[in-house]
Amino acid sequence: MPPSRSDRGFHPGLADDLAGAALALARWFTAGATLWCVAPRWEPHAQHIALEFLHPVVAGTPALPAAALTGPALVDTARVSARAGDIVLAVAASDEAEVRSLVTRGPAWGVHTIWIGSGPHPGAVAADHLLWLDDPDPRISSRGDFVLLYHVLWELTVRCFDHPALMRPEAESPSAATVHPDLGQLGEVVTPLGDGTARVRTATGTETVATSFVEPVHVGDLVLVHAGMAVSAVGMEEQR
């Protein structure tokens, strides 16, 4: 007998997670976002998702800007591709280091993130939306579960455009990774300048900040920026 939906990891809260992610996607697209899709171990999934959004097959649904990022060095590729306000959607298991790094950097780049995954829950990650299957089966990428998830996500997203009133930004729902202004905002070191300062990318742009509290800094390090200073390092040993 085929496994039931619950046996295959479709937990009861997944429907709510999908609805929330779809509404967010529709709003981000309305604001001018491009969707960048990644799946380091399963690149056809990234290509499939981009195709669905870019070339919809349902009459009357909009074509939405989307592209798959493939090949090595995905973090570097996403860094130069994604603009503030764009979206990175990843399909990956929880042990995928590149995806963890991408999701962690999302707030520094001003990029929204959605992670479709399976297996052990990734814990307190900075993704705006997690669509998770509690299923450790290594064959999950070829069973159709992920395909079903992102097809439903696409369908719900395009249906949101039928309700223009829903497209207004939801002011009281900040990114899951937003940092309180009193504490600072996440930034990524672009260029250490060698004089106790560095060029640092944040969601609001690239600026020169003082780095004396966190020296030495390297390209790609994550720091917390407050009042023109990098006040602490954020997992730099894991994020380069």
DSSP summary character for residue 2 = P
* Residue in 94, 97, 102 with CA at minimum distance from that of residue 122: 94
Cβ–Cβ under 8 Å, residues 32 and 55: no
**90 and 203 share a domain?**
no
**DSSP-assigned beta bridge partners for residue 222:** 188
**216 and 156 share a domain?**
no
Cβ–Cβ under 8 Å, residues 45 and 141: yes
Cβ–Cβ under 8 Å, residues 213 and 205: no
Question: What is the tens place of the pLDDT at every residue in 196-216?
Answer: 999 999 999 999 999 999 999
Q: Which amino acid appears at position 162 of this protein? A: D
- The answer to the question of residue 177 being in a domain is no
Q: Could you give the C-alpha distances from 196 to 154, 219, 231, in angstroms and in order? A: 46, 14, 13
User: Structure tokens of 88?
Assistant: 């990175």
**104 and 133 share a domain?**
yes
Report pLDDT for 193.
95
Question: What is the tens place of the pLDDT at every residue in 10-51?
Answer: 677 889 999 999 999 999 999 999 999 999 999 999 999 999
CATH number at residue 70: 3.40.50.10490
**Element of type H or E holding 167:** none
Cβ–Cβ under 8 Å, residues 166 and 26: yes
**225 and 132 share a domain?**
no
Angle value at C-alpha 127, between 124 and 133, nearest 5 degrees: 80
Structural domain that includes position 212: 185-239
In this predicted structure, the answer to whether residue 175 has a pLDDT above a threshold of 60 is no
Residue 166 neighbours by CB distance under 10 Å: 14
In this predicted structure, the answer to whether residue 65 has a pLDDT above a threshold of 80 is yes
pTM here is: 0.85
* Residue in 65, 40, 176 with CA at minimum distance from that of residue 112: 176
Report pLDDT for 58.
72
CATH number at residue 214: 2.30.30.140
- The answer to the question of residue 96 being in a domain is yes
Cβ–Cβ under 8 Å, residues 128 and 106: yes
Count of domains in the chain? 2
User: Structure tokens of 181?
Assistant: 């202004």
- The answer to the question of residue 176 being in a domain is no
